[in-house]
Amino acid sequence: MLRVGLGRRSRGCGGGLWRRRCLAAAGGSASSFCPGALSAAASSSPSDGGGARGGGSPPAGTSNIKPLDGVKILDLTRVLAGPFATMNLGDLGAEVIKVERPGTGDDTRAWGPPFAGTESVYFLSVNRNKKSIAVNMKDSKGAKLIRELAAVSDVFVENYVPGKLAEMGLGYEDIKKVAPHIVYCSITGYGQTGPKVQRGGYDSIAAAVSGLIHITGHEDGEPVRPGVAMTDLATGLYTYGAVMAGLLQRYKTGKGLHIDCNLLSSQVACLTHVAANYLNCKIEAKRWGTAHGSIVPYQAFKTKDGYIVVGAGNDQQFVTMCKILNLPEVSKDSRYKTNTLRVQNRKELIDILSTRFSEKATIEWLQLFEGSGVPYGPINNMQQVFSDPQVLHNGLVMEMNHPTAGRIAVPGPGVRYSEFAVSHPKPPPLVGQHTVEILKGMLGYEDDAIEELLRTGAVSQHEVR
């Protein structure tokens, strides 16, 4: 028999750490700004046998307190943009509660091969540092659980088509009633309003509509999708920053807020100078392959055995480049004296440079350019990337022990901090691995109430063997 409210709630299971501190500092009022709340207490980080190769150890003399320690994030997102954002927030210490469908879970759990054991490598790549609770949100009891979890969380992140969660009583206005402090972030394809609002959000489609695919590919070739889902990833990074801005805004105003992130806006914003060229000069964008529309030379050149990318960002670098290539007459040619002239005479110059680069192997050119001050680098495959000493030094490979896949490795965060390290990552969870733990620890549910929820299918628990 279900208890009232789907289980008794233990006292002291209030909102996230930052919210509780602000309430205490403000004498119980959420309307006062609490700057002291930004100094979250350290929480213990149990090791899962994980860490970063190279640069992942905490700096000497620091306690490894992380900026989002104590912040609770209720994560209803799936696939890439949302999970990438919440994973990065988890790296900074936030407790991320990933809500998944019982049984199948996040769509990307089925995306493969490749698989590590039975686990999708795609899923593993963007879901570290999270706990999973499996909830049937279409069940009224499941929807009520989400509202209860929101009430004790700081952040609510979702990526459903606008209006879908409102039908379940889980839209922003619904959650705001039970959690007025909540930073509620929606990730969609096109935004919360407008003529395309009901379309689903997919990276390739948004990349096409936003113009990214139009400008990607060989100069005389077909449009090309970037090798990774850059529109999703850019939206994830915008979301990551927006959530932290939302938290800071809340501590200035004492109020929660709704954040609208979407794929289209993120990608159009990232068009930067290409968009500005059109907006200001009505210059239509085109594809340049590895080259640059406004800088010459700045592209890949074929060598005897591979490719090297070289750029001359200013006239002095171009002169130096010509010396390395033993082409002093080219640097003195009046057609190439300035970048503007080099852009105007692009074809002739690139033909000359391409001929010279084809005469030596990549490693020979790398040695000649070393220490010259001219930007250069090889085009690496994945084996070469993860053998690069700088990649290893920067701690960009994170390893951890997964309960079913065993030892796994994923790319780590791209930022390092002087006072703490993103170390000891928790492995990506199994579907519903932490359901009972969350119901007990966050909501104070007792065993009989949890058993009833499990029996009726409102939630499910994955037993790790």
Q: What residues act catalytically?
A: 232
- Taking the C-alpha atoms of residue 198 and residue 186, their distance in angstroms, rounded to an integer, is 14
Q: Which two tokens stand for residue 209?
A: 């509509």
Positive or negative torsion for Cα 424, 425, 431, 432 = positive
**Measured CA distances, 295 to 147, 312, 379 (Å):** 53, 8, 19
Instruction: Return the number of other C-beta atoms located less than 10 Å from residue 79's C-beta.
Output: 21
Instruction: Return the number of other C-beta atoms located less than 10 Å from residue 22's C-beta.
Output: 25
Instruction: Return the number of other C-beta atoms located less than 10 Å from residue 281's C-beta.
Output: 8
Count of helices and strands (H, E) across the chain: 19, 15
What are φ and ψ of residue 160, in 5° steps? -95, 155
**Measured CA distances, 48 to 109, 179, 205, 210, 265 (Å):** 21, 33, 38, 41, 38
- Taking the C-alpha atoms of residue 54 and residue 159, their distance in angstroms, rounded to an integer, is 35
DSSP secondary structure string for all residues of 133-146 = EEE-TTSHHHHHHH
DSSP structural state of residue 423: -
Residues 94 and 395 sit within 8 Å (Cβ to Cβ): no
List the beta strands (DSSP E) in 244-375.
Answer: 257-262, 298-302, 307-311
Residues 35 and 248 sit within 8 Å (Cβ to Cβ): no
Report the run of H or E that residue 323 belongs to, with start and end: helix 315-324
Our measurement of the distance from residue 340's CA atom to the centroid of its chain's CA atoms, rounded to an integer in Å, reads 37
List the beta strands (DSSP E) in 291-375.
Answer: 298-302, 307-311
Q: Which two tokens stand for residue 90?
A: 């988890």
Give the closest residue to 211 by CA, choosing from 162, 272, 261: 272
